[in-house]
Amino acid sequence: MEKKMEELRKRLREIYDLDSVIALLNWDQNTYMPEAAGDARGSQLAVIARIRHDRMVDPGLGRLLEELTPYEQELPYDADDAALIRVAKRHFVTESKVPADFVSCFYQHVSQTYAAWVEARKEDDFSKVEPYLEKTLEFSREYASFFPGHQHPADPLIDRSDYGMKAEEIRRLFAELRSRLVPLVEQVTSLPPTDRSCLTKFYPKEQQLAFGKKVIEKLGFDFKRGRQDLSPHPFMIRFADGDVRITTRVNEHDLSEALFSTIHETGHALYELGISSCYEGTPLHTGTSSGVHESQSRLWENIVGRSRTFWTYFYPRLQAEFKEQLAGVSLDEFYRAINHVKRSLIRTEADELTYNLHVIIRFDLELALLEGSLSVKDLPEAWRSRYQSDLGVAPQSDQNGVLQDIHWYADFIGGMFQGYTLGNILSAQFYQAALKAHPTIPEEMERGEFSTLRGWLTENIYQYGSKYTAAEIVKKATGTDLTIEPYLDYLTQKYTALN
């Protein structure tokens, strides 16, 4: 069995390295690649994706996993070898159902769609990407068809990022969350708006980036194992245990945009940097689900980064960096400004209270597209209608509407957005458990110390990578299943106190 495990790790390492090559090509496309290189990049990605898929569904790998199954069954469930065999089998079975030609065609299509989206967004013209999105919808439905027996066509797509969750389960959870959020949003937005003018003065780009770097170094981002660059849509990407990268975008007339996107992506990076290095080269060496991953970006961005305790330490340093812009602005005024609540159009710039309404709209539209009750050509109008009914505002342009997010233009339609709200819910549940274990965390944050919180998260979540499913991690770390109560308590207490 030892030799068979060695052979398994060798095969999985090759797949892992091919995944890293694909990630590197995607990172380059999203950062520094020339505009005219889109077609060539699509061809490159298609070739690598096909090779990767061939390795993943190699009958020899299937036989090896079958031979290792008795060994897996003999081991304790928590054993690393058992987890590796279990997860590798799941991936093999899933990918074996997807034809290689489909994979290479889809990657080439996605590269072309991304280039069309960049152009459409620049020109504020959905029609330029509409035919590509039509094709993406066809690809998405075809992918779902490879997994017969599902209750909803979104289920196999959701499984790709939040394994084990179903569309109807998420729909019910989101409906309950929405029913309890809407009254709170109504209550807070009926009050006089918060003055956030201190955030919208001129803040030079290089100074913003320098300050953001100091912040994330304090949080624990290791620049020897990572770097930060600029991109149109901020993201985190991992190539290896020692190469985890983040991006941000800078608005020189809104201090909060780069600052909080930097903290957000750092939350993702801390997760990846905290995974046990013994899992590198295997499918265990990545976050277990999009929901758990987003719980970390939202925990660090919002529960930590928008807290008064955080800014008790950092605000004097921010004032020293931007003396003129923040002269005479008190900590209380700044704290209120970064936590203002406003009905808005842009998901990535939304406040904590309204953010989930943005996600729920997208999730519902995905389901409608897959079900066939909504056509791609009617998507911009459906988007506007939902924003008007749910948030009381409607985009006057495609750029601020259906074109604002990259997700549908860089992957499938379906399973793209639910992780954000699942992450918000879990962020509060995890933080509550960390506070229970270490009640002094807020006092430490006031002194600019984050190692206790990061240590608890590493011990209970990060180190395991994908060894456990999201449901198992939640139960293991908090003692309970996923629940919306800690999140709603957090929002209610915070925004009642603010208003």
Q: What is the dihedral of CA 259, 261, 265, 270, to 10 degrees?
A: 30
Q: Which two tokens stand for residue 223?
A: 């620049």
Q: Tell me the catalytic residues.
A: 265
- Listed in order, the ranges of the chain carrying CATH 1.10.1370.30 are 168-498
Stretch 453-478: mean pLDDT? 98
Average pLDDT over residues 21-39: 93
Give the pLDDT confidence score for residue 63 in this predicted structure: 98
DSSP state of 77: T
pLDDT tens digit string along 176-223? 999 999 899 989 988 888 999 999 999 999 999 999 999 999 999 999
Please say if the pLDDT value at position 344 is more than 80: yes
Q: Provide the mean pLDDT of the chain.
A: 95
Band of pLDDT at residue 498, cut at 50, 70 and 90: confident
Identity of the amino acid at 85? I
CA distance 70 to 88: 15
pLDDT of residue 119: 94
Tell whether the model's pLDDT for residue 42 goes beyond 90. Answer: no
Considering the chain, what percentage of its residues have pLDDT values greater than 90?
Answer: 91
Does residue 39 register a pLDDT over 90?
A: no
What is the band of 295 on the pLDDT scale with cuts at 50, 70, 90? very high
- Please tell me the predicted confidence (pLDDT) of residue 499: 75
Rounded to a whole number of angstroms, the CA Rg of the chain reads: 23
Q: 75-125: per-residue pLDDT in tens? A: 999 999 999 999 999 999 999 999 989 988 998 899 899 999 999 999 999
Structure tokens at 300: 């660090």
Local confidence band at 232 (pLDDT 50, 70, 90 cut-offs): confident
pLDDT score, position 111:
87
pLDDT at 481 exceeding the cut of 80: yes
- Structure token digits, residue 171: 């729909």
Contacts of 270 (CB under 8 A, 6+ apart): 219, 220, 221, 296, 300, 454, 457, 462
268 is in an annotated binding site: yes
User: 56 in helix, strand or coil?
Assistant: helix
User: What DSSP assignment string belongs to 187-235?
Assistant: HHHTSPPP--GGGSS---HHHHHHHHHHHHHHHT--TTSEEEEE-SS--
Residue 303 has pLDDT above 90, yes or no: yes
Number of neighbours of residue 380 by Cβ within 10 angstroms: 18
264 assigned to a ligand binding site: yes
Q: Per-residue pLDDT for 289 more than 80?
A: yes
CA separation, residue 168 to residues 158, 159, 414 (Å): 11, 13, 13
CATH number of 168-498: 1.10.1370.30
What's residue 193's pLDDT? 86
Question: How confident is the model over 156-170, as a mean pLDDT?
Answer: 95
Percent of the chain with pLDDT over 70: 100
- Nearest-5° angle of CA 6, CA 10, CA 16? 135
pLDDT band (50, 70, 90) for residue 55: very high
Distance in angstroms (rounded) separating the CA atoms of residues 66 and 72 = 10
pLDDT at position 349 = 81
Which tens digits make up the pLDDT trace of 380-430? 999 999 999 899 999 999 999 999 999 999 999 999 999 999 999 999 999
Given this model, what pLDDT does residue 394 score? Answer: 94
Residue 294 in marked binding region: yes
Buried b (16+ CB within 10 A) or exposed e, 281-295: bbbbbbbbbbbbbbb
